[in-house]
Amino acid sequence: MLKTHEVLQAQEGFISHQVLEQVSGPGEFNFVTIVQWESVDMIDRAKVAVQAAHRARNFDPQALFQRLGIRADIANYRPVAA
């Protein structure tokens, strides 16, 4: 995760990121990663960069998730007026 975040931080349009750990409640996920970007276009570019970095390290995140029984819920969100 740290290597991936290093790649993300180096990308154009990166604003910030947080990794949150669940400390109570019945939620399904123990960790949540939130990355903020300037625009949707920047997200698409970052995905390409992360995939290239994973290939360069011969890292297959899906294989890791399967081996460790990790369920990832990967999606894009946008702020809404509350």
pLDDT in tens, 33-82: 999 999 989 999 999 999 999 999 999 999 999 999 998 888 988 889 98
DSSP characters over 3-59: HHHHHHHTSTTEEEEEEEE--SSS-S-SEEEEEEES-HHHHHHHHHHHHHHHHHTT-
Architecture of domain 2-68: 2-Layer Sandwich (3.30)
24 pLDDT exceeds 90?
A: yes
pLDDT band at 13; cut points 50, 70, 90: very high
pTM, full prediction: 0.77
8 pLDDT exceeds 90?
A: yes
What ranges do the domains of the chain cover? 2-68
